[in-house]
Chains A and B, each alone.
Chain A
Amino acid sequence: MSTAIVGLSRYVLIFFGAMYAFHCFMAFVIGKGSDKNWFYITQEAFMILFHMTSFLVLAITSKNVEIFTLGAFQEVMLIAIIVLYRILYPECSRLLVNNMCMLLAIGFVILTRLDQTKALKQFFIVAVSLAVTMFIPYLMIRFRELRRYTYVFGGIGLAAIAAVMVSGAVTNGSKLSWQIAGITFQPSEFVKLLYVVFLAGMLTEEDEDTGRIMLKPSLQRLIIGGAAAFAHVAILVFSKDLGSALIFFIVYVFMLYASVKAPVVLAGGAAAGVVGSLIGYKLFAHVRVRVTAWLDPFKVIEGQGYQITQSLFAIGTGSWFGMGLNMGSPNKIPVVEQDFIFAAVSEELGCIFGICLILICMSTFLMIINMAMTANDPYYRLMALGFAVYYAFQILLTVGGTIKFIPMTGVTLPLVSYGGSSVLSTLIMLAIVQGIYLIHDTEGRTVSYEMRGGYAG
C-alpha cells in the first residue's frame, strides 16, 4: 500500500497542483454567482489534498511519524486562516487568500523535506505572522488617514536601510541584516513595504478645495519623491544589496509612470536601468561573478558556477515529473532553502509542478493588479500597483535566476522560501492589498447601488 502511494504520488501531486493552478485562472473568468463559493471550496480542496498527500509521502519515505504531526498542525492552521478570513472579511479576495495558503503549503512541504528544524521554525513564524497580519485589513478600513503619514514612512524606511549600511553584518558580500537576540532580521524586506506606501503618497496630491486625492502631483512632490527614491536606491547600492536596489528602482519607475501617465517615463527608466547595470557591472566584482556564472556556468563549474549548475542539474534530472519527495538530492544546492527553493520544488515535485507554481504566482500578481484597477482612490490604486510590481519582479528575479533565465540576484521566493523577514513582509503586503480591496468594495457597493437607483429613477 505505502509503496503504491509513494509511486503514484508524483503524478497525483502534479494533478493537484495543476488543478489548483487551473482554478487560479478560472477565477478571473467565472461570473459573479452563487457557484463562486463552491468554486473556491473546490480550489481549497485541491490545496488541502496536495498538502496532505505530500506529508503522507514525506512521513512514509522518511519513516518519521513526527512529520505527520507537523503536517497536521499546518493543515489546521491553513484551514483556520481560510475560515477566519471568510468570517472576518466576507468580501475579501478569496483567490488571494487561497494563493497565500497554497504558496505557504508548498513552502512547508519542501522545507520539511529539506530541513525539519527550519520547517518547524518557519511554521511558528508563519503562524505568528498570520495572526498579526489578519488585523491589518480591519485597521485599514477603520483608519483611512494613512496618507497623512507619508513622510513618516519614507523617513523610517530611509533611516532603517541607512542604519543597516552603517552597522549591518556582512553576508555574502552584501550588508543586509541585523542580528537581534539571535534572530537575523533583514530590514530591507520591510523597507520595501514602507517605500511603496511612501511613494503612493508622494505621487498623489490632495485637491485643496474638494479634498479628493488626485494623480499627477505637483512638481514639488515629484522632485521630493524622486529624490527620496534615489536616496533609497543609492543607499542599497552602497550596501551592495543590488538585488533590492534593482527592485526599488523598478517599483519607482512603474509607479511614476502610472502616476504621471507619460510613456516617456518607461523609456527613461529602461535607459537608466541599462546604464545603471553597466556601471554596476564595472564597479562591483560580485556582479561580474554572477554574470560570468550566468553566461557559461559550466566553464566555472568548480567555482562561481557551482551553485547554478547544481540547480540546473536538479531541475534537469527531476525533469517534467520529478524524482518524488525524498528521492532527489536538493540539499546539494547551496542555500537551496532560500534562493534556490524553486530548483528543489522542480527536482522533487517535477517541472510541471514548477510551471504550476509560476502560474500561481502569476495569478497572484494579476489579482493584485486587478485590485489596483478596480479601486477608486488613486492613493490605494498606486499602492496596489506598487505592490504588484514589487511582487512580480521578485518572482522574476528568483525563479529566473534559478533556471538561468537571468543572472542570479539572491532574492527569495515569497512565502515559499525559508526566511522570517521575507515571509512576514509578504504576508503584511498581502494583508494591505486585501485591505485596499475591502475599502474599495465597501465603496463600490454604494456606487453600484446609486447607479441602479439612478436607472430606476
Chain B
Amino acid sequence: MRDKGKKLAKRNNEMSVVMYFFAAVFMAMMCYFFYYVQFKAPTEINSSYNMRQQNLAKKVIRGNIYAADGSILAEQAMNSDNEEVRYYPFKEVFAHAVGYDSHGCAGVEHAANIDLLTSDSPVNEKLQKEMAGVRNYGDNVYTSYDVNLQETAYEALGAYKGAIVVMDAKTAKILAMVSKPDYDPNTVSDNWASISADTEDSPLVNRATQGLYPPGSTFKIVTLLEYLKEHSDDYQDYRFNCKGSITFDDVTVECYHGSVHGNLDLKESFAKSCNSSFANIGMQLNLKKYANTCNELLFNTDLPTDLYYSKSSFTLKSGADTEEIMHTAMGQGNTLMSPLHMAMITQAIANNGVMMKPYEILKKTNYLGTVIESYEPQKVKSIMTENEAKIEQEFMEEVVNTGTGKKLSKLAYTAAGKTGSAEFGNVKGQSHAWFTGYSNISDPDIVVTVIVEGAGSGSDYAVPMAKRIFDAYYGE
C-alpha cells in the first residue's frame, strides 16, 4: 500500500511541479493586486485624466478644506436657486492655493480630490446611509495655510502681477501662497470660457509654482555656492575692483543702473549684488561642476512635492560662450526658476543645508473630526554642506545689514535674504523684482519668496512686501 502511494507520488512529481509553479504565479498576482489597490491606487487615481471622480461625488458629499486655525477655506453650500455648490469664503485670496473643484480641479481641491470624495464615516452610519440612498459625508482636509499671512501676502502684492510663497523654515509646510492675477473660485466654473481664454493675464496659472522667471540676482545664491565649493579654502581671499562694468572677449556686463561698487571681497560682492564681480566669478567656474551643482539643487528635474509645478531649467554647459557664462552667473541668461523652487533653496539654506519636502496638507479627518491620516514633514536631502549653508546665511545677513535688503534691518526681528532685479524681454531697464529670504537668523522661522512682475528693483518693490509679511508674522 505504501509502495503504491510512493509510486503514485513519484508518478506525479512533474505534475506537482507544474501545480506549485502556477499556484505561486496566482499567489504573486493576487499579492500584487492587493498591493496595487491598497497602496498605489489611492494616489494614482487622483489624476485629472480619471473621469470617475464624478461617480464618487454621487455617493459622497465633498468634504471641507480648512486653514491651520480651523477657518473654512472651502465647503458645500446651497446657492439662491437651492442648488448645491462649492463655496469659498475667502474668494480670490485663496484662489490658487485652494483651487477649484471643477474642470479638472486645481490647488488643494486637486491634491486632495479623492480624499474629499472618500467617506470614512463610522461603518454603521455609512451602511445606514447607503441603504437609505443618502450620500455620506466626505473626509475633511486640514491645510497648513495661515489666514493672516495669506491675507497679508495677498494685500501686499496689491495690483501687481506676481507671486508670493511663505513656508515654515524648518518643515517646509506652506503657510501662504499667492499668485496674481487671480480669479474668484466661486464663479470660476460659470466664467470658465472667458477665464481660461485669457492668455494675456492667464489668471488660472499659479505663478508661485508654475510661473518660470529669470531669477536675476537671487541666482547669485547658486553661483556663490558653486564658488564656495570650488574655493572652500580661499574664498575669503577673493577681491574685485568694480568700475561699473566688466568686459571679456568684447562682451560687457554692467552693474544694475550703472552703479560703481569699487573694491569688493566676496561677501560685499554678494551683499551689493555686484553684476561685474559675479560675471568675473562666473568666468572662473568649472562649468561642468556648475551644472552638476545646479542639478543637485533640482534644476532640470522633478521637485519633491505634490503641488502642480513647472520644472526650473539651467542650460549652461561646458563650452558655452563668454556672454552666456557671464549672464548666467549673475542670474540672467537662459536660466528659469519657479518661485516655489527659489523658496525651497532658501529653506534649505535657513535649515543648514537640509531641504524639506514642501507640503500643504497636514491631516485628513472624517466629518466628525476623527483623524484618518496625518502627514509629517519629510526630509528631501542635503543640497549643500552645513558649512556652506552657514556661509550663505552669513552673506544673506550681510545683504540685509549693509546691502540691497537694508529695509529689513533694525527691526524687532532679524532677517536675511537676497534681492534680485531680473531683466526680461528686450526693453532695457524693465525688470521683475525678486526677494527671497527668511526671518530670525539665530533660529529661522519662516521663508518668504516674492516675485513682482515688471515692477523694478527687488530692493524697492519686493523687499517691502516681504517686510509686511514678516511684520504680520511677528505681530507688528
Contacts and interface: CB of A to CB of B under 8 A. Distances in A.
Contacts of A369: 15, 18-19, 22
A392 B22 CA distance: 7
B45 A313 contact: yes
Contacts of B16: 373
A362 B127 CA distance: 32
B55 A328 contact: yes
A254 B22 CA distance: 11
A317 B23 contact: no
Interface residues of A, number: 55
A366 B41 contact: no
B120 to A, nearest CB: 12
B250 interface: no
Interface string A30-60: 0000000000000000000000000000000
A4 B127 CA distance: 10
A444 to B, nearest CB: 12
Contact of B26 (A11, A261, A309, A365): A365
Interface in B366-394: none
Interface string A352-391: 0011001101100110010011000000010001001100
B14 A258 contact: yes
A392 B26 contact: yes
Interface stretch (B29-37, B199-207, B287-295): B29-37
A358 B23 CA distance: 11
Contacts of A258: 14-15, 18
B25 interface: yes
Contact of A317 (B12, B13, B28, B45): B45
A327 B33 contact: no
Contact of A358 (B22, B33, B53): B33
Contact of A8 (B33, B51, B55, B130): B130
Contacts of B18: 254, 257-258, 369, 385, 388-389
Contact of B19 (A317, A328, A332, A366): A366
Interface in B36-66: 36-37, 40-42, 44-45, 47, 49-53, 55-56, 58-59
Contacts of B131: 3-4, 7-8
Nearest to A347: B52
Q: Is the interface of A mostly helix, strand, loop or mixed?
A: helix
Contact of A309 (B32, B49, B127): B49
B475 interface: no
A6 interface: yes
Contacts of B133: 3-4, 6-7
B34 A312 contact: no
Kindly state the interface size class of chain B when it binds its partner: 35 or more
Contacts of B28: 405
A217 interface: no
A319 interface: yes
A332 B33 contact: no
A7 B133 CA distance: 6
B32 A405 contact: yes
B201 to A, nearest CB: 28
A355 B35 CA distance: 12
Contacts of B30: 355, 358-359
B411 interface: no
Main SS at interface, chain B: helix
A355 B34 contact: yes
A329 interface: yes
Contacts of A315: 36-37, 41
A124 interface: no
Contacts of A319: 37, 41
A408 interface: no
Interface in B116-164: 127, 129-133
Given A8-B130, A317-B56, A261 B25 contact: no
Contact of A355 (B15, B33, B53, B59): B33
A286 interface: no
Contacts of B52: 313-314, 317, 323, 328-329, 332, 347
Given A319-B41, A323-B55, A328-B52, A366 B23 contact: yes
Interface stretch (A170-178, A179-187, A396-404): A396-404
A388 B25 CA distance: 14
Nearest to B18: A254
A309 to B, nearest CB: 6
A280 interface: no
A351 B15 contact: no
A328 B29 CA distance: 24
Interface string B402-427: 00000000000000000000000000
B290 to A, nearest CB: 30
A358 B45 contact: no
A278 interface: no
Contact of B36 (A327, A366, A388, A403): A403
- Which of B23, B55, B127, B129 is packed against the most chain A CB atoms within 10 Å? B55
Nearest to B53: A317
Contacts of B15: 258, 369, 372-373, 381, 385
A281 interface: no
A389 B22 contact: yes
A257 B37 contact: no
Nearest to A5: B131
A347 B34 CA distance: 14
A203 to B, nearest CB: 12
Contacts of A6: 133
A3 B132 contact: yes
Contacts of B22: 365, 369, 388-389, 392-393, 396
A329 B33 contact: no
Interface string A232-266: 00000000000000000000001001100101001
Given A313-B50, A392-B22, A405 B29 contact: yes
Interface in A318-368: 319-320, 323, 327-329, 332, 347, 351, 354-355, 358-359, 361-362, 365-366
B47 A298 contact: yes
B12 to A, nearest CB: 5
A285 interface: no
A403 B38 CA distance: 13
Nearest to A395: B26
A358 B42 contact: no
Interface in B273-314: none
A145 B33 CA distance: 44
Contacts of A399: 29
A355 B34 CA distance: 9
Nearest to B20: A369
Contacts of B42: 316
A41 B130 CA distance: 32
Contact of B132 (A4, A10, A301, A317): A4
A4 B128 CA distance: 9
Interface of A: 3-4, 6-8, 10-11, 254, 257-258, 261, 263, 266, 298, 301, 309, 312-317, 319-320, 323, 327-329, 332, 347, 351, 354-355, 358-359, 361-362, 365-366, 369, 372-373, 381, 385, 388-389, 392-393, 395-396, 399-400, 403-405
14 contacts: A10-B130, A261-B14, A312-B44, A315-B37, A316-B44, A316-B50, A319-B37, A351-B33, A358-B26, A358-B33, A373-B15, A403-B36, A404-B36, A405-B33
Interface of B: 12-19, 22-23, 25-26, 28-30, 32-34, 36-37, 40-42, 44-45, 47, 49-53, 55-56, 58-59, 127, 129-133
Given A312-B36, A389-B22, A404-B36, 6 more contacts: A7-B129, A8-B130, A8-B131, A301-B47, A373-B16, A388-B22
Task: Give the top 6 A-B pairs by smallest Cβ distance, nearest first.
Answer: A316-B41, A3-B133, A7-B130, A316-B45, A7-B131, A317-B52
